[in-house]
Structure 1
């Protein structure tokens, strides 16, 4: 049995994110309680979360979970999903690196752990005509999905490198305005904002539906162009209490990622079917086709990049510095991969393999 709930942008987590407060998390070790009766999974209706979209739409999660009921919720950005995870409202989430790191550091490693990668690439700064270099950005307004989400951190960090000051409360040399992705498109089309740093498919929508152009592809900021956009994060207590259920989730996840890489011609159809079911509207064919060329689907979380993500968040005034030891637990993922004779992934010295 599967149920689906639509959850809009939750801004409750913003104050916690900026102030450095965190939800209270028990430090008492949990015990294995066997398979869970229900697994509550969060994801975004973005192409970068295609593993979740395909996993649900094609029934890969349901098949792997067996008698465990899958319940899903959709979010607009990572901080909102982390707020739900910290509150115990969901058990696992497809999410960007920055919110995952933030909740881990804020909780002293007790809130959640990354159990797999899901996607890399597929994020960029899109701007209007007349902005052709960083020097043209003074006094502009740029949007991101939510304060403290992965693209928000990337934009603020890049602007800092270019000599611009930003503020989490508005103002600065460049105004960064956290905004719901759909509203960002409307505001960009009407000329009320000058650009946005977004994940796919919103990059492609701003390009093809609003005549924007890419000023910065985030891939240009990383060695070999590889940077994680989406990982699979699980509540630490849920992992300890229901490891069999988490392994089943990972079986469905690996199946979804493998299916995406092996069936590119069918991927757009399945992704659009789920997007339409969730939002009431499918993406234009040209938008989805372009978006899929920008995203790589892989279960490797690219763990070595996470200290860099943390440093960028601290530099941008959004994240709190801390120890990332234990952020990853990819042992169950590697067990699934071994059964399929696929290569194991690394925790980068930051957890269990």
Structure 2
């Protein structure tokens, strides 16, 4: 019996060894499951029909993205607020998105740092607290209703953080400020009818309230940030897409760079192109005074202003829309962006240490 079992044991040992080698080999060969797979068949891109997304609108209208993407099919989808765009990214129905800074942080947080990476900036500035004439101090906001575009969006966080800093309670009643989340066109209508006293709004909506409805600026958000710069719109991609198709991401970034360069060298044409795109997408257009004022409040650039993001993460906690500040280690991946900048002879940008994953 012992002699008959010995060959069987040797066979089992050999089989186990072969299985182990097979697993090791397969693990080694399949480990880079997200390795570079060349150009993507298609790129699904999200954006807003809004002046704060002008680089996206210009890049689409002028064909900069399509030209750089070449054979990669560009599929676009427009959104009106960040949270639905975040859901699309995390659900895998978008590959890249122009999006507000707070929703970008939320996307990173919701996926526990796995699903998205911030790869470039787009727009800085262009957000103000505009109010009805006669309100000249924070104290006069008590008992008033102030609008923001959506719960936990970039402007919602900014307003609530600012109110907390002024020791103003948020809520109902004569001694508190009511914060109401409204679609931007609705805010304009309700402001005109006196049902809201103002709003912390992105362009062009803050300019529309000023130019068309007589609002005044109580707070220009630029005054709250060093050098007057803060990220209003950034570009993020799904991590898997970035790892599998870096060449396609490069093409997207080159298209954005061309759109930003176009806006800088052709400001009048940039306004015209952006306004025409908004009309095509929404059915409405902006009058020249609103357009001029809105563009004067914005600046466009590929630098995502990385050093501001730790403060933005803290602001969400202060505003009461997040329980804790998001750990942003690994949030940025500027590898492809800096390659593009170096190739065009422009200075590279700094990730402020947020490109180092420590999870």
Taking structure 1 as the reference length, what is the TM-score of the superposition?
0.89
Conserved 8 A contact 1:105-1:321: no
Q: Distance in 1 between matches of 2:76 and 2:163?
A: 35
Task: Please give the alpha-carbon distance, in whole angstroms, between the structure 1 residues aligned to 2:68 and 2:334.
Answer: 18
1:288 shift after superposition:
0.4
Work out the CA distance in 1 between the residues paired with 2:88 and 2:189.
27
Deviations 1:247-291 (A, max 9, x none): 111110111111111111211111111111111122111100110
Aligned to 1:278: 281
SS of 2:152's equivalent in the other structure is: coil
Q: Which of the pair is proportionally richer in helix?
A: 2
Where do 5+ consecutive residues of structure 2 fail to align?
Answer: 1-31
Q: CA offset at residue 38 of structure 1?
A: 1.2
Normalised by the length of structure 2, the TM-score is: 0.87
Match of 2:130 among 126, 129, 135: 126
Contact 2:105 2:326 in 1 (8 A): no
Secondary structure in 1 matching 2:136: coil
Which residue number corresponds to residue 8 of structure 1? none
- Give the conservation status (yes or no) of the 8 Å contact 2:330–2:354: yes
Does residue 1:80 correspond to 2:84, yes or no? Answer: yes
Give RMSD over aligned pairs. 1.5
Structure 1 position 303 matched with structure 2 position 306? yes
Give the corresponding residue for 1:93.
Answer: 97
Q: Return the offset for 1:119.
A: 0.8
Distance 1:81 1:165 in 2: 30
Task: Give the distance between the partners of 2:243 and 2:77, measured in 1 at CA.
Answer: 22
Instruction: Give SS of 1:126's match.
Output: strand
Question: CA–CA distance in 2 between the matches of 1:198 and 1:213?
Answer: 13
Per-residue displacement from partner, 1:195-220 (whole Å, max 9, x unpaired)? 10011111110101111111000011
CA contact (8 A) 2:90 2:111 kept: no
Deviations 1:95-150 (A, max 9, x none): 11111111212222112111000010110001112211101001111111111111
Aligned to 1:314: 317
Corresponding residue number in structure 2 for 1:12:
none
Separation of aligned partners in 2, 1:247 and 1:282: 32
Q: CA deviation at 1:77?
A: 1.5
Q: How does 1:197-346 map to 2 (within 5 A)?
A: 197-319=200-322, 320-346=324-350
